[in-house]
């Protein structure tokens, strides 16, 4: 080669780079034009790429910064996307000096129509454990390359339920009157065992192949909307699974709490607000691990914090979500939780999110709801929280003997704590979920008490959440054994002897319960008084708890009778709430009832009346 040819070759970068590289991952894989969050920090992973620079040549898209951490195999590249950027495919070039050491495809997309509104008291949420709901595609029950295969005989194993199963039963869910679907996490959980529940995520950008694909998840959301149902994603910010690919090559030494070594959390959630809590106890709560298979994330690490925020925004935008349920909410860093929720609500002002703070103390739960002025200085942005205090009080009330200080009274008095919440109407009410014994087991199979509990969550202030299968009286154990309480939905598998979806093989009690749920929640879907009406409740007497909902256009009276026999209810005490109404319609039977001097309440049953 002549001297002039060599110079030309150098100018044209035709010599191989001194540092050849391969990019194995870029997360997120795309972003959108027109997002408020327009500066995106990409995580690039590949062998020895940390020393490289980055370049993008695409209209309206540019690299504004790069950051390397402790591992030589990560490069964090900040990309800014202008509002007038051209949607389409592009390449990220990694540079060793002036030479291109690696290229990787990326893209910016035009935005789809805005996601649906979030959830509020107009909605009722149907909670599903996907692996146990319906097996729509038996071909993905076990997937080569993933650690745990299907074993339906094992209560703690994978049973094969999937996204296809949920898609096939969207009509059924809608027919029950539910308007939001919350599946427990569906992202990859490539753990050796006990992976069906979804809370040990090993890839935050990938649906577990045993559930389906990312495209299947988008299809679920799209088809759910066609049935009048919004999809709520279960998000885990506190921890990952021990087989997450990060654990083989951590981006930084401080990525995982306790230097990446197992140290259990003390579960002392009061330490976040306790002005006297020892700093070590507070750190022991937030930085401790749930279990050894769930490494605890350090959200104070800035690249990780941005990664988690962007991951949430990506799923909302990508899948057209209608809401988020955030797992183990208070266990993550409080400052991060504020920044995360604010970023979501800034991007999607009509969105809704509910956090899990499993405490019987309403002051602890209220600390996290948007609008709460906290002495700690924490500024929350969560629209909703799971109402664990009222959940616990309800379950106690159904079993306690009827005395002056027991029976319904503790539930009645628990509601008085609503003054602590900025917006009690936005709280999510529930009688059971995937982490509790089922209500039917709690009341030892008593269908009357079960109906009382379900009627309460459907008519009380807030947003009701119902757990799949309870409409056909899935019972489960009386003590918490997760694999058993998260039982397979009858009819979700070919060859099942009975089917909740078709009614085949159900016994009389199951049909009665399913009809009760269908009638109650379909009525609730149109019941404006329950959606936002004023609540007035009366001190329980003689085993009966009475309350009213009234929005001016509709008045509803609810009487919950825990007694074993029919009970006369004198109505003079409720004259202010009944007003001039002289008749009412029984919501559950359609019967017309006169409102005279008294009502005869059915034994061990709810009476829900629309007043004329």
Q: What's the Rg (C-alpha) of the chain?
A: 27
7-to-77, 80, 462 alpha-carbon distances in Å: 32, 35, 74
The CA distance from 459 to 456, in Å, is 5
Find where tokens 């259990």 sit: 264
Of 356, 423, 432, 488, catalytic: 356
Greatest pairwise CA separation for the chain in angstroms: 111
> Choosing from 188, 243, 327, 488, which is the catalytic residue?
327
Within 8 A by CB and 6+ apart from 487, the residues are 132, 469, 474, 476
Cα–Cα dist 306/457, whole Å: 37
Q: Which helix (H) or strand (E) holds 346?
A: helix 334-347
Cis peptide before 28 (omega within 30 of 0): yes
CA–CA gap between residue 251 and residue 312 (Å, rounded): 20
What is the Cα–Cα distance from 307 to 318, expressed in whole angstroms? 16
Provide the residue count of the chain: 612
From start to end of 57-124, where are the E strands?
Answer: 61-67, 74-81, 88-96, 99-109
Q: Is 327:357 a contact under the CB 8 Å cutoff? A: no
Is 356 labeled as catalytic in the residue annotation?
yes
Instruction: Locate 596 and state its tokens.
Output: 């005279």
Q: Can you say whether residue 158 is alpha, beta or left, with left for phi > 0 and alpha for psi between -120 and 50 degrees?
A: beta
The answer to whether residue 327 is catalytic is: yes
Q: What are phi and psi of 592, to 5 degrees?
A: -95, 130
- Which positions are catalytic? 327, 356
């Amino acid at each position: 080669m002549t001297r002039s040819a060599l110079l030309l070759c150098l100018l044209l970068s035709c010599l191989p780079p001194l540092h050849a590289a391969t990019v194995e991952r870029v997360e997120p894989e795309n972003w959108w034009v027109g997002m408020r969050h327009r500066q995106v920090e990409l995580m690039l992973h590949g062998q020895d790429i940390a020393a490289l620079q980055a370049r993008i040549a695409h209209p309206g898209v540019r690299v504004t910064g790069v950051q390397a951490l402790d591992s030589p195999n990560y490069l964090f590249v900040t990309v800014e996307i202008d509002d007038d950027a051209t949607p389409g495919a592009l390449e990220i070039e990694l540079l060793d000096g002036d030479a291109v050491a690696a290229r990787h495809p990326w893209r910016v997309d035009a935005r789809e129509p805005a996601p649906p509104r979030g959830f509020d008291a107009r909605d009722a949420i149907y909670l599903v454990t996907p692996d146990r709901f319906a097996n729509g595609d038996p071909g993905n029950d076990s997937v080569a390359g993933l650690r745990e295969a299907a074993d339906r005989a094992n209560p703690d194993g994978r049973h094969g339920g999937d996204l296809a199963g949920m898609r096939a039963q969207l009509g059924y869910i809608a027919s029950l009157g539910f308007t939001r679907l919350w599946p427990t996490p569906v992202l990859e959980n490539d753990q050796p065992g006990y992976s069906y529940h979804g809370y040990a995520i090993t890839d935050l950008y990938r649906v577990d192949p045993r559930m389906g694909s990312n495209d299947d998840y988008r299809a679920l959301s799209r088809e759910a909307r066609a049935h009048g149902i919004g999809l709520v994603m279960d998000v885990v910010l506190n921890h990952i699974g021990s087989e997450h690919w990060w654990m083989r090559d951590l981006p930084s030494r401080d990525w995982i709490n306790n230097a990446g070594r197992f140290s259990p959390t003390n579960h002392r959630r009061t330490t976040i607000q306790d002005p006297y809590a020892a700093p070590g106890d507070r750190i022991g709560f937030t930085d401790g691990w749930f279990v050894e298979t769930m490494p605890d994330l350090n959200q104070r690490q800035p690249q990780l914090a941005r990664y988690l925020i962007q991951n949430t925004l990506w799923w909302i935008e990508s899948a057209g979500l209608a809401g988020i349920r955030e797992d183990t909410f208070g266990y993550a860093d409080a400052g991060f939780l504020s920044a995360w929720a604010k970023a979501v609500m800034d991007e999607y002002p009509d969105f809704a999110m509910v956090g899990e703070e499993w405490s019987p103390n309403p002051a602890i739960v209220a600390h996290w709801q948007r609008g709460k002025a906290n002495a700690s200085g924490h500024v929350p942005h969560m629209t909703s929280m799971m109402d664990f205090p009222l959940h616990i009080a309800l379950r106690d009330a159904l079993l306690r003997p009827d005395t002056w200080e027991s029976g319904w009274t503790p539930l009645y008095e628990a509601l008085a704590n609503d003054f602590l919440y900025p917006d009690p109407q936005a709280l999510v009410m529930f009688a059971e979920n995937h982490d509790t014994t089922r209500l039917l087991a709690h009341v030892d199979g008593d269908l009357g008490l079960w109906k009382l509990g379900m009627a309460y969550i459907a008519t009380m202030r807030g947003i009701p959440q119902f757990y799949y299968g309870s409409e056909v009286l899935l019972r489960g154990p009386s003590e918490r054994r997760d694999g058993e309480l998260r039982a397979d939905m009858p009819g979700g598998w070919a060859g099942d002897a009975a089917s909740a979806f078709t009614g085949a093989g159900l016994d009389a009690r199951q049909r009665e319960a399913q009809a009760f749920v269908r009638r109650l929640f379909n009525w609730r879907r149109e019941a404006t008084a329950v959606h936002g009406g004023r609540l007035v409740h009366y001190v329980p007497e003689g085993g009966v708890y009475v309350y009213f909902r009234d929005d001016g256009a509709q008045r509803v009276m609810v009487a919950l009778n825990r007694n074993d026999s029919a009970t006369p209810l004198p109505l003079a005490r409720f004259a202010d709430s009944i007003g001039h109404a002289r008749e009412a319609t029984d919501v559950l039977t359609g019967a017309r009832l006169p409102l005279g001097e008294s009502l005869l309440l059915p034994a061990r049953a709810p009476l829900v009346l629309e007043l004329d």
